[in-house]
Amino acid sequence: MKTTKAPEMTVLSRVVRTSLEDLMKNIEDFPKEIVQEAVNAGLHPSGPQYWIYKWETCVTLEEFELKICLPVATFGNEFSSDKFKLEKLEEYQHVKKTHLGSWENLKDSYEALTEEMKAENIVPGQSCRELYINCDFDKPENNITEIQFQVN
């Protein structure tokens, strides 16, 4: 299993505290709004949305921090918003797995990735990312999601 380092990047972001159970009701319309906010501000979306999950413990059923991010090119534009923040994400050392298909089966890809990590004695960090390469709400079998687990 190969570790990869994602470079730092400029993103628009919004952080919420939630649990897996309450995830959808706590994010409201952020995924749509963040794209509109970028376009309205003259920023150029430059990649897929990143959802960054960060747990204080490794118990996934507990409340956690979710940061929804959209990579953007600023072209020197000023940015101000009550809802979103313009920031730099730091480099991110990780292992990854691509999940093809419905998000209902995303758990299977997470389990496969964590088993590979255990087999190679790779210690996970406190966060993981999901990159939504393709989102097809009409045909979820066409979804492409990259899972990135932080490594120490």
CATH number at residue 139: 3.20.80.10
Angstrom distance (rounded) from CA 113 to CA 138: 27
How distant, in Å, are the alpha carbons of 29, 77, 79, 135 from that of 131?
Answer: 18, 25, 24, 10
pLDDT band for position 22 (cuts 50, 70, 90): confident
The pLDDT score that the predictor gives to residue 28 is 75
Q: What is the mean pLDDT of the chain?
A: 91
pTM: 0.89
18: burial class by Cβ within 10 Å (0-12, 13-18, 19+)?
Answer: middle
Over pLDDT 90: what percentage of the chain? Answer: 73
Which one-letter amino acid corresponds to residue 12?
Answer: L
Angstrom distance (rounded) from CA 93 to CA 83: 28
How many Cβ atoms sit within 10 Å of the Cβ of residue 136?
12
User: Could you tell me the residue range of the domain that residue 63 belongs to?
Assistant: 4-151
Each residue's pLDDT tens digit, 30-85: 888 999 999 999 999 999 999 999 987 655 667 899 999 999 999 888 888 989 99
Domains identified in the chain, total number: 1
